[in-house]
Structure formats: structure tokens, C-alpha cells
Structure 1
Amino acid sequence: MRTPVSVAVVCGADGLGDALARSFDRMPQATLRWICDDVKRAASIGYGPETAWTMDFDELLQDEDLDAIAFASPALAAPWRALAALEAEKHVFVDGQLRCASADAERLVAAATRGNRSLLAQTPALLRPEVLRLHRLIGRGALGEIYYVHARRYSLRPEGDLDLLRDLGLELVALALDVLGDEPVEVTATGESYIGRERPDVLFSTLRFATGINVHVHLSCLEGESSEQLSVVGSKATAVLDVSESGRSLSVAANGAAPSVFEELPIEPGDRIAYRQAPDDSLRLACARFLTAVRSHGEPSVGREAAAALAVVEALEQSSRNRGAAEPVASRAEQEGKVVAFRAGGVTSVTRQLS
């Protein structure tokens, strides 16, 4: 019987991290060794006697028997903490999309590669049932040839400062890259401000891929609604993914001019197929994927997708500042020719390129 992976969970205020800790605690492949949190909460939360509590992050780094550290949010994983964990030979899990400079994310990728450690940093929403189903539809060619992708995210008018690209666009970009399994080579972005804010209230952008596919992204806080959708338009059908918390769903509409068959169902032009909403088990799936990567002892799984999304957002910011001028997208590691990323079974791995 294989030894379970020992995990520490770094929690935040107001119970942030409780769900993550419970997920690891319930998995036979893991042992919840540490909770890094306010020790005063320890008495009110029921974990086994093998789980220790601390407020000192350094205790986790110094524990030679600890295999992995899981952060309950990107803020808690602030690049120096995640980097310190990797340099202390711990595998790292981050519940959420990294929010730092792409150069900092690339440093995490490089540290994981150097130490042969696993690094998973993405929002569990990428593992929701409707997203996984969309992956399967694309993978088996049910949509036909992919023409383009349209993604939009709207927010109600903000009371305070709102950065469209960082606050609304980052996770949407990460979703688009994940669905296509690719990274753009060039982007353009233009923004407008209508209500007197220093930042744009609305932004239109295009991500261009070497395959010829374009992703069109529309971000706005002026539409009078809060919504998030991604449409994948193919030669046979269009899939519409609603990823907002209140409207999670996936539907497919026929694109042809004549009756046809979709997934063995006869459909007419304009017919729409709506899939049943399955329970959201994405956090457990993310934890399980991480543990599998840790236990596989193969190529290190890394936060490559997180670094790629950050690089795209930075390029979009630069294009917007330059009034829509095309901006190339290339991570620092790729520019130096030192790291080659590839996909293997849904987990991105990294290998060093021989010079």
C-alpha cells in the first residue's frame, strides 16, 4: 500500500481554506498533517489528532516529513511563500489563479522544474462538470472545425476601483486557453471609459493563435448585468458555456443549413441541446489531480497555464496602452529558449531544452 501524501493547508480569515482542508482530509491518498491558521480556531474544527496547528509558516518549511503545502487562495500563496515552499522541496497547490507578474509565475515554474516538484495553480472552476464536458465535445470533434471563440464577462457598475483585465479578464483568459489547449502568439485590446473612471469601463480584445483560431474577449461594467459566458463556434455546432455562479450550464446549437445528427441525436438548424447540470465536484477533482501528480514521480506538473494566462493579460494591458497595437505574447522562459511546455493527460509538464 502506498504511503499517503502528507499535506499542510494554509488558511485565511473567516474560514477561508476550511473546504480545501476537508477535501484533503477526506482523501485516502492524503494525510492532513498541518493547518496553518489561527490556533484559536483549532478547538472548534474537528480534525484528527494527527493534524497539527500552527500560525508560523516557517514550521511547515522546516518539517522534513511534509510532502506538500496547499494555499487556500492566490493571496496566501504570494509568490515568496509559494517559492519558499518549492525551494524547501515541497509540492505546491494553489486554490485559484495566480495573481502576480508573469515573471514571478515563471520563477515558480522554474523552481518546480528544478526540484522535480508538482505545482498546480488554477481555479478549480476549470474542472467543473460542464467545462470537462466541453473538453470532451471538442476532443472528439463533435463541434467540427473550430472557427473562433467568443468570451464575455460583465460586472455591475463598480462602487470602487475595478481593473477589467485583472479582476474580470484573467480567469476568463485562463478558461479560454484551457479549453483550446493552446496559447496565443499575438493579442490586441482597446478600452473606453464612459463614467469618468481612470481605468476603462469596457474592453474589446482579440487573442490570435498560430492555428488560425481567434478568441474575442469582451469585458464590461456597463451592461447592467453580471454574467460570464464562453462560446466555441465550430463548423458543425456552437457550444455555449455559462460559467457564472448563478447560471452554470452548457448548451449546444446546430450550425448547419440542413438537418443533421449531433451525438446520435437528429437535430434541425437552430436546435439547441441543453445538458443536465451535474453537481460541482471541482475542488475535490483538483485536489485529486494534484495528489496524482505528486505520487506519479514523473515529469513535474507545473503552473504553466497560470503563467501563460498572466503573460496574455500583460500583453493585453500593453496593447490597450498603445491604443490597440498588436502585441506579441511570449513568456520570459520561452524567449530564452530554456523551457518547453507540453500537455500530457490533462497536466502540463515541463522539460528542459538541450542547447
Structure 2
Amino acid sequence: MPNLQDEAKAYIESVLGVAAQMTPVPLRVPYTIRDSYKTYELSVPMGNSSAFNMMLLVSRDDIEYPGIVKLQKHIEMVRNVTNQVVVYVCWSLSTQDRRSLIMHQVNFIQPSFQMFIPEMALDLRESFRQRREQSEVAALLPAAQAMLLSCLYSGIPDETYFTTNALLGDLGYSRVTLSKAVDQLVSLGVISPAKSELHWKTYAFNGSPAEVFQKAKKHLRSPVKKRIGITRNAIPMAPGVFIAGETALAKYTMLAEPKQAVWGMSKKVFNDMLALDAFEVVESVDSIEEWVEIWGYPSLTETQYMADTASLFLSLEDNPDERIQIALDELKEQVLWLA
């Protein structure tokens, strides 16, 4: 006759489609329980880099179902010792017994027939919810991308906890936008809620700057929303205006500067500059003297009014020009976590 504990393990594996781990665990419990049950810890992977652990209270072959009252007492004793979800396992139960166990919220497994473990169902639902949310995040919001890159520029010291305000930095987004950005970063596993001595909700990054960047890389997008041809009158180097595109790449690397300069700015700054007659928008390709890129967020390091290196890299990485790709390789060497 097959072992009851092995049958219970195989039953859960067949239902969930996962490989579980089972370990015998001797417990310091009264002899009445040790004489009636064998105890095993069963660990079931849940698909979110964690596992659901339970203590199996496996009925010995010569022991019949003790009844709901006595079983509840036994389970309570085991729970007090292990502080785990306790699951009663037996070969056979009558329909009335199963109904009684479910009504009293007692976890049980009757291999190849039925199991009732609400805590595992809740954990599975949370796991699937997190996986679904993660799959739904095709690209980070511009605000989330800006926050992430800003933190990477600042560095991520070990065992450092960030409040939402610290994650926001000087970017000035609204609380609603901040909340959405933090939710995205959490759902991707880039940051995780952390316990600290602070009175505010805190988060920790899951890895070094290079590890965090690589984890988020496939969800990062070019910050450029639109590219507009202009004829320039006098673009002032004001806050929010920065050198971008191939012009900025040439400043950082050995790439030759393009004949048509490229400027970066937000849509608001663009409208302000247009109102000040700093430039004119032109439709004819032959009349274009320079270019303006409308960015989803400002340059994150306004050193000499230049586009920050990471955002510049993202804005040009899909450019098929071989010269630009060689320059981007050179650019990556300037920021360790970009490489």
C-alpha cells in the first residue's frame, strides 16, 4: 500500500502542476498526537519566488478519523508548536465528515478525492494577481522611469530604505502619479516594501544598481515622444531646455556632431519657447535647421544642460546608424550600471 504522505504530495502536485518538497519534521507534542499522526512539512512553490509551507498531520494507517472536536484540539496543539498552516491527511472520509471539516474551517487532504486548504487558495490568488499585474506592465510610466533612473544616479547603498518622497526626489510629480509609479516599480519586483524604524511606508531596491537596471530594462522606453523640425531664432539655455539626441551623444563621445542640432524639452517648455518666438516650427524637410525632441520627463542630471546619459541611451538605442551604436557602447562605459 502506498504511503499516505506520498499520495498527498502527489495529489497536490497533480492539481497545481508544480513540484513540491516534503520533509519529515519531529515535533515536541504530546504522545497522543505522535502515536496518532506522522508530521511532514510540505513546501509548495507559488510562482512569485516564494513558497507556501504547511504542516501535514498524516493519520497513521491503524488510526481512524477522530471526530471534529478531538481533531481540532490536535491541530491547535500542532499549530502552537509550528506556527504553520496545519493540514489533516487521511485515506477516507465520509461525506458527512468532509462537510463537517469544511464547515469548521479545518484543512484536510483526502488524496485523489478532495482537499480543502483556504489559506493556500488565497496565497495562490495573490500570486496570480501579482503575476498578472507584472505581465500587464509593458512599459513604465515616464514618471516611474524618471524616478528609477534618478535613484540609480544617486546610488543605492546596501540596506537603505526609501520613503515615497525619497523616491520622488526633486521631480515634483503629484501624489497620484507618485502612487502609480511606485505601484509599477513594486509589481515589477524592482523595489519591495520594507520594514524599518521609520514611521512612514518604506521601500528597498532589490539588488545593486546594475541588477536593478537589468531587471527593469525591458520595461524602459525612449523618453522622446515627438521630434519636431524648427528654424531657430534664439533658444535660451533655460531650466528645462537641454542638448539631446545625436548632439548630446557627440558631447559625451567621439561621435562627430550632426549638422542639425537637437534640443530636448517637455511639451510645456516647448509651448513656452514657442510663445517667446525662440523658434518656429517648419513642415518642409528642406527648411529644417534644427530639431526639438519632446521628452516625457526632464533631463535627470542638468549638468551643462545636457540630456542625462541613461535617458540619452534609451532615446537612441534603436537607431540603426552603426556610428551611433558604436558611440552608445562608449557611452555605456561612462556609467557602470548601464553596461
Higher relative contact order (CA 8 A, sep 6+): 1
> Which structure dedicates a bigger proportion of its chain to helix?
2
Which has the larger share of strand? 1
Larger Rg: 2
Under TM normalisation by the shorter chain, which class is it? under 0.3
Please give the TM-score of this superposition, normalised by the length of structure 1.
Answer: 0.19
Q: Give me the TM-score of the superposition, normalised by structure 2.
A: 0.19
